[in-house]
Structure 1
Amino acid sequence: MGGETTQPMFFLRMVPILILLAMTVSASVAALCPVKCRCNDTTLSTICTSAGLEVIPLQLNPEIRHMDLSNNKISNLYYALSIYENLISLDLSKNNLSSLGSDKFKSQSNLQVLNISRNSIEKLKKDSFNGLKALVKLDLSYNRLEQLHNLTFLELHSLRTVVLSGNRITHLDKGLLKATKHLKELVLDNNQLLEIPSAVLSDAIGLQRLILSQNLIDSVDEGSIPILSDLRSLSIDGNVIRDIHHAALTGLLSLERLDLSDNNFTNVPTASLSKLSNLTWLKLSGNFVGKIPPVAFRGLFQLKYIHLDRLELLTKIDVRAFVDNINLERIWLNDNIGLSSIPTRIFHGNPKIVHISMRNNALTTVEATHFPLDQLRLLQLGGNPLECNCSLLWLWHLAQDQNKSPIIQSNQTHNIPSELHIDSQDIICAGPETQLGKRLLDVSESEINCSYSWIAIMSAVVSILFVVVIITGLILWSPLKKSHLRGKDMSQGSGALGRAEVYEPPRIEKCIVSAPVSHHHDYRTLSSWEHYGSSYGNCMSNMNIYEQLDCHLKDRPHIVYV
């Protein structure tokens, strides 16, 4: 009896379950679309974004290929995905997943794109991604991962992109990328890496894009970046790097883009950069560089775009800074609060430059000779404390011309001179006082134009004053000089011959000056001569004593009158 009673009770309890199962099967066959979801049987796609789902729906078309379940409350995958074997893309971002478990993707051999970003995953097992042999892109960003098992990507032979941004990764185990021979892009920004993961990168020989931004890397030493001959883009901005070893980048012969912004550089790493012969885009913004020296970007002949913004300590740019960059097209020099002047003709050695931006610096004046205006298409100078005087007359004319006629966009013909565009709306006068706070565009020509008549008058006045000062100086200086000389002569006594105006005949005594006697008593015999009082030559005995002194002076010995 007891057994007979138990069986009906068992069947009664199973009826709701069987009914629910039948409903589920019928719903699957009919491919019912859940509430708040959008299903398309033509494209075989379902979008259930923000639908409040707590589990993966089971009633979708089994042939579905694209499933978007982002921004829901899904906390576990269970084995629900095994129903959808034809999935090509799956988005599970912004859910409550804390684990992926093991072999949950075993049936997704066709899946190519998997997005599990912005969940709460703390750890991945070595078999979490088993079965995903066709996976091309994997996004695990903004989870709570601290490390990855070196076998995590073992079956991901087709993987091309791995995004691990915004986790807590401090290091990566060697061998992690050994099976991913086709990997092209590795994104590791916003983690806690203390150094460049050299051991892992050495397996990614085909890597083309590497992002290591916003980590704690403090140096780029020799050998820290392995030879990656296909690498095109490298971002190591937002770290604490002070310098790069001069040989650290030698293995990056194909590198085209390099971002070094927001580090601790105090000098341009010229020697390191010179190895990058194919570099076309460089960003050094937000560092502590105080000077851009001559040939700062030596050897970068292919460089087209350079960002030198937010260099708060920058005060000087050498006129030869960009001489090697003959293909330079665009340069950004914005928000350098210490930069008050630039050299004349600094960009005239760059024949292809078309865009110069120097906004929000400390420039008080700019001249037309600073820029190759005939080839520029965009010149930005807004936010500088410019003095609106006649030195800016050229810029005023450009602003007025631009205001009168529309500027042809840069995608139009480049042969029309009027296509040069300046940010005239943002150029505000910081002086003189009468123009303070005015837009350059609103200043009248009479206010900014320097009057040539006043210049001529001031020049004449200055010249006259200069001449008067010189003449007055000469007049005052001449008597002083004579007095000084007269005093000097008097102080020297009357022994100097030839100063007739102060000479008075003294009592004359004759003496014969002989040759000086050496310490070795080496005497010389004086040549014979006759007394000047006797008859000799044509000299008259009755001559005045001074006249006789002049007669045949060459024949007489040296006589000193005392």
Structure 2
Amino acid sequence: MTMQNELNLSQNKLIGLLYGAFSCLRNLEYVNLAQNRLNEFDPAWFTGCKSLKILNVSRNNIVNIKYGSWNTTNLQILDFSSNNLKSIGRSMFTGLSRLRILRLGRNRELKIIAQDPFKGMTALENLTLNNIGRFVLNGTLADLRNLTFFDCSFLIREVKVASIHQFTHTSALKTLDMSFTHISPDDLVNKEIKESLFHGLVSLHTLKLRGNNLQDLPEVSFMFSPLQQMKKLDLVRCNLQRITSQVFKNLGGLEELLLNTNSIVYISEYAFQNLQNLSSLLLQYNRIYSIGKNLFKGTTNLKRLYLQENKITTIEPGTVFPPRLLRLNISGNILICNCELAWFVHWTRTATNVSFGPQNETLCSNNSFSELQNKPIWSFHPEEYCGINIILVTGVSIAIIIVMFLSLLVYHKRWWFNHKMFLLKLAILGYDEITEDADPSDYQYQLNIMFHDDDAEWVNENLKPALEERMPHLQNIAFGDEDLHLGMYYLNALHHNIDNSFKTVLLISNKSEDDAWFMTKLRMAVEHVNDTKLDKIILIFLEDIHEASLPYLVRLLLSRNKPYLLVTEDEDGQELFWAQFEKEMRVNKVINSVIPI
């Protein structure tokens, strides 16, 4: 018997064993006592079993484990699952420093676990506490620095979190299953100090929170931020309703995200923007009505997308689907097969690498074209239903015609509009300028008009009669060279008229701009402005002159925002001309700079 290394006593009716019952079996490595009638367990049964590595006492009726040091110091796997344990004391596993796997699950009466029952069990890698009565996280895992797997799922009552720092020392943990533990959103984060329950889990690959009521999931970016190595996140049946842009913000390494079987109505368009390594996204069995155009823009490696059994009616044109997508399931939605969905149907036919299944369950809703109702969307051929949109084309054409008509009308009535805008500007803003104290009556000439000889006919036939009719108060007007002072040299006479005139008007035409004497008059007028610091020049264009043909001095005056008047045959244009002329004749504005000549 001393050579025996395995002993199977399962499925018997053992109710107890004697002290040192296996002491003679010094080479014993595996003992199976499962499915017996043991009510109490005593570590002393295995005194002397120094080689024991695996001990299975599952599916008994064990209520209590006697206190005492375990002499089986080489034990690596211990299974107490499916018993009736009520509590786990502080010294219950003393001596099991090499234990790697401990199974305490399915002890439905287990409600009391001491604060540090696993003290000294530094080699423990796998701890199962699923399907127990109640569990309090109160520094329970502090010594388990090599723990890689921890399952506390399916609690009868709840897991209670004493503080936010429960996983600080479990940096080796790779799988954490807290499914159906009645954990609350407030247990996951501490908003005051901005820390997460998952702080310290730098090696975690899989996190399962399935079946918890996380309806009000905290809208913070630091909840999952410690989990930089996480590959899989399970949030199935968590009663989620909204997915904001913050929740998954720092999970760039995530590959599988399970959000199915919730109550999701809204997903932020930026919720998945940073999940560039995501390959599987499960959103089926929710209440999603629409998906944002850029919802999947950041998920460049997404291969499997499940959207079945939602309330999606259409997919907007321009919606971005991942370039590496291999499977898309959108069945069980209320898709309306009309022209708005036409682009998506075209896309499904060109996306040859994507599998759309099951196709016979992806149907057109009752709001579709009558011939397509309750038929697969792949029977929808948009070219048969969605030709040229006559209403849209007609509407756009009419709009273009209206715009062109209004543009022509505005151009034809441009002088009327300019006149009204000029008057409106004066009425609203007015003008506040430093002006000369003297008025036109203080000068010998109220108006001095200079022009080319060839323009004299226009002056006599048009300007003189108009001035007499519109501005009868102007009695002293010097018209060109014929009103120069007799007995003076020509240039002196020009200076005299300019110096003694309230305003000097220069009529500019194509002929005058090529005349040296006219340019001399213009230069003398500018010199007078520089000497007096008064803006006494009015430029009137008798015809349109190309900008490149204008003399330098004229262009210089215009570049200084010098107002000018344009003679036109249009009646509204004439009204604007005389309104501006009357304004210019009211005052002489003081200038504070010199015009270079």
State the TM-score, normalizing by the size of structure 1: 0.58
For the 8 Å contact 1:390–1:449, the answer to whether it is kept is no
1:423 to 348, 358, 364: 358
Distance change in 2, residues 1:211/1:327 (3 Å) = closer
1:192 to 146, 151, 158: 158
What letter corresponds to residue 424 of structure 1 in structure 2?
A: Q
SS of equivalent residue, structure 1 residue 379: strand
Counterpart position of 2:432: none
The DSSP-based 3-state class of the residue aligned with 2:365 is: strand
Q: Which amino acid aligns with 1:309?
A: N
Structure 1 stretches lacking a partner, 5+ long: 1-28, 32-40, 221-238, 403-416, 475-521, 530-547
User: Counterpart of 2:37 in structure 1: which amino acid?
Assistant: K
Question: Contact 2:43/2:70 (CA < 8 Å) preserved in 1?
Answer: no
SS at match of 1:74: coil
Distance 1:243 1:266, change over 3 A: farther
Asked if the contact 1:240–1:264 (Cα under 8 Å) also holds between the matched residues in 2, the reply is no
Which one-letter code corresponds to 1:89 in the other structure? I
SS at match of 2:384: coil
Choose 428-437 or 111-120, whichever is displaced more: 428-437
Q: What displacement does 1:375 show?
A: 2.1
Cα deviation per residue 1:168-189 (whole Å; 9 max; x = unaligned)? 4453665x65665544444434
Query: What residue number does 1:340 align with?
Result: 289
Higher relative contact order (CA 8 A, sep 6+): 2
Give the RMSD, CA atoms, in angstroms.
5.0
For residues 203 and 375 of structure 1, the distance between their equivalents in structure 2, rounded to whole angstroms, comes to 39
Provide closer, same or farther for how the CA distance between residues 315 and 354 of structure 1 changes in structure 2, counting only shifts above 3 A. Answer: same
Q: How far has the Cα of 1:97 moved from its partner?
A: 0.9
Call closer, same or farther: CA 1:219–1:179 in 2, change over 3 Å.
same
Sequence identity (%): 19
C-alpha distance in 2 between matches for 1:387 and 1:60: 76
Letter in 2 for 1:145: L
Instruction: Work out the CA distance in 1 between the residues paired with 2:241 and 2:150.
Output: 29
Opposite residue 365 of structure 1, the aligned amino acid is T
User: Do residues 90 (structure 1) and 55 (structure 2) align?
Assistant: yes
Indicate conservation of the 8 Å contact 1:244/1:269, yes or no. Answer: no
1:384 offset after TM fit, Å?
0.9
Change (3 A) 1:77 1:242: closer
Contact 2:137/2:160 (<8 A) preserved:
no
Q: Which ranges in structure 2 are unaligned for 5 or more consecutive residues?
A: 407-437, 446-463, 476-597
1:142 counterpart SS class: coil
Once the two structures are overlaid, the 10-residue window that deviates more, 86-95 or 431-440, is: 431-440
Secondary structure at the counterpart of residue 65 of structure 2: coil
Mapped contact 2:300–2:322 kept (Cα < 8 A)? no
Q: Is 1:307 matched up with 2:258?
A: yes
Post-superposition shift, 1:73?
Answer: 2.5
- DSSP 3-state at the match of 1:166: coil
Q: 1:450 aligns with which of 349, 360, 384?
A: 384
Cα distance between partner residues in 2 of 1:274 and 1:134: 33
Kindly provide the CA deviation profile for residues 11-33 of structure 1, in whole angstroms up to 9, marking residues without a partner as x.
xxxxxxxxxxxxxxxxxx5x9xx
In structure 2, the residue matched to 1:123 is: 87
Q: Give the aligned partner of residue 435 of structure 1.
A: 372
Q: Secondary structure at the match of 2:112?
A: coil
Aligned partner of 2:279 in structure 1 is: 329
Verify: 1:380 aligned to 2:337, yes or no: no
Residue of structure 2 in register with 1:557 after alignment: 473
Task: Give the 3 Å change call, closer, same or farther, for CA 243–71 of structure 1 in structure 2.
Answer: farther
Asked if the contact 2:170/2:201 (under 8 Å) is kept, the reply is no
Could you tell me which amino acid in structure 2 is paired with residue 426 of structure 1?
A: E
- Kept in 1, the 8 Å contact 2:171–2:200? The answer is no
Give runs of aligned pairs for residues 34-433 of structure 1, distance below 5 A. 44=6, 46=8, 48-49=10-11, 51=12, 53-55=14-16, 62=25, 63-77=27-41, 81-82=45-46, 85=49, 86-103=51-68, 106-143=70-107, 144-150=109-115, 152-154=117-119, 156-169=121-134, 171=136, 180=144, 182-189=146-153, 190=155, 192-196=158-162, 201=167, 204=170, 207-215=173-181, 217-218=183-184, 246-248=194-196, 251-259=200-208, 262=212, 263-266=214-217, 268-274=219-225, 276-285=227-236, 286-290=238-242, 292-293=244-245, 297-318=248-269, 320-337=270-287, 339-366=288-315, 369-372=318-321, 374-392=323-341, 417-418=352-353, 420-431=355-366, 432=368, 433=370
Report SS of the residue matched to 2:87.
coil
Task: Find the aligned partners of 2:253 and 2:361 in 1 and give their Cα distance.
Answer: 32
Q: What SS does the aligned partner of 2:102 have? A: strand
One-letter amino acid of the structure 2 residue matched with residue 437 of structure 1: N
CA distance in 2 between partners of 1:177 and 1:463 (Å): 70
What does the per-residue CA deviation read over 1:272-292, in whole Å, with 9 as the maximum and x for residues that have no partner? 445554444344553444353
Matched position secondary structure for 1:306: strand
Determine helix, strand or coil for the equivalent of 1:370. Answer: coil
Contact 2:337 2:364 in 1 (8 A): yes
Q: Sort the Cα spacing of 1:344 and 1:198 in 2 relative to 1 into closer, same or farther, 3 A.
A: closer
Structure 1 SS opposite 2:78: strand
- Equivalenced residues, count: 417
Kept after mapping to 1: 8 A contact 2:206/2:231: yes
Q: Is the 8 A contact 2:126 2:150 kept in 1?
A: yes
